């Protein structure tokens, strides 16, 4: 068993953040390549109106294909009850819900106050319990480390929404550095506090590399007990409703860091790097990031 779970978010977080739409056949080929590398949790899409995010118009078809891949946890983002109903109908294993710690970002991202979003999550949990109790629900607490719209986000606000989500019945809640403003000391402190509040319901670290601290922040989260990490192949993506918040943590670099430390991820780096090819085929000319793919694996490296 791996020591950490790398949750690949490129097919959702990455693709919805670029203006072009990747053809469905290319998405499926890319997801196949990601799965072949050993990744066992992939956020394959989001269930949102196609007029808002045409990149996700084929969500149900993408989920149907992903469900054929053995051992894969198929995950989708949903912003509301309607999205959750569509995702559950499509057969996903896990849904993730964005709930912002910043009031300003909440209004921009989901067009709801934080309190209204908590109520929406209660409705989603009730629907899940009634219709598909096997489906897991994760809350990704957006702007947990700062907001490009309102600035500072108080740690007490983050803990408040984490407790609200736990009471609402979500299975786990993680912290998202949506705007790339976090630093390692802050990450370690806030995840430690989160764990003291909600215990084993603490979820993933979703870090951005906007200011070059993505890997350092992931390591700080690991030191604080986090064992699930979101990342995106080639660093694709960012939040379209947080100005300037580009750059997810690069999956290839994150896997290399952990494997070099002796922390097992279950991912074959050679095959993972090769998964950039179908991404480039589906989005020709799109900028790709990552230090490892440029430098290569060290001499003598064994996957």
At 44-91, the pLDDT tens digits run: 999 999 999 999 999 999 999 999 999 999 999 999 999 999 999 999
pLDDT at 242: 46
Q: Where do runs of H (alpha helix) occur along 24-182?
A: 24-36, 59-66, 81-90, 103-109, 114-131, 155-168
With beta carbons less than 8 A apart as the criterion, state whether 177 and 131 touch.
no
Fold classification of 5-295 is TIM Barrel (3.20.20)
Q: Report whether pLDDT(303) > 90.
A: no
Averaged over 105-123, what is the pLDDT?
A: 86
5-21 pLDDT per residue, tens: 999 999 999 999 888 99
Domain ranges in the chain? 5-295
Catalytic residue among 45, 139, 218, 239: 239
> What are the structure tokens assigned to 97, written together?
């819900």
In the residue annotation, 239 being an active-site residue is answered as yes
Least confident span in 105-114, 189-198, 206-215, 249-258: 105-114
Answering whether pTM is above 0.85, one says: yes
Q: In which band, very low, low, confident or very high, does the pLDDT at 238 lie, cut at 50, 70 and 90?
A: low
């Amino acid at each position: 068993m791996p020591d950490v779970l790398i949750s690949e978010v490129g097919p959702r977080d990455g693709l919805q953040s670029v203006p072009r739409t990747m053809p469905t056949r290319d998405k499926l080929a890319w997801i196949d390549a990601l799965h072949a590398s050993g990744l066992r949790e992939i956020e394959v899409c989001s269930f949102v109106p196609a007029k808002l995010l045409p990149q996700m118009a084929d969500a149900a078809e993408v989920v149907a294909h992903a469900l054929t891949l053995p051992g894969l946890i198929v995950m989708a983002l949903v912003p509301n009850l309607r999205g959750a109903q569509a995702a559950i109908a499509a057969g996903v294993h896990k849904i993730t819900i964005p709930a912002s710690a910043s009031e300003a970002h909440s209004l921009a991202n989901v067009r709801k106050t934080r309190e209204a979003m908590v109520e929406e999550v209660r409705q989603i949990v009730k629907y899940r319990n009634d219709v598909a109790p096997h489906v897991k629900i994760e809350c990704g607490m957006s702007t947990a480390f700062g907001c490009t719209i309102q600035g500072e986000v108080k740690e007490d606000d983050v803990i408040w929404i984490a407790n609200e989500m736990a009471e609402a019945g979500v299975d786990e809640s993680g912290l998202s550095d949506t705007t790339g403003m976090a630093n390692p000391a802050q990450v370690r402190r806030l995840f430690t506090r989160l764990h003291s509040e909600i215990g084993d319901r603490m979820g993933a670290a979703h870090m951005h590399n906007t200011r070059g601290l993505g890997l350092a922040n992931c390591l700080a989260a690991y030191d604080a007990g986090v064992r699930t990490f979101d990342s995106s192949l080639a660093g694709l993506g960012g939040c379209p409703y947080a100005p300037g918040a580009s750059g997810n943590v690069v999956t290839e670099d994150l896997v290399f860091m952990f494997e070099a430390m002796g922390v097992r991820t279950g991912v074959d780096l050679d095959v993972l790097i090769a998964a950039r090819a179908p991404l480039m085929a589906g989005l020709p000319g799109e900028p790709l990031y990552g230090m490892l793919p440029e430098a290569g694996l060290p001499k003598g490296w064994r996957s």
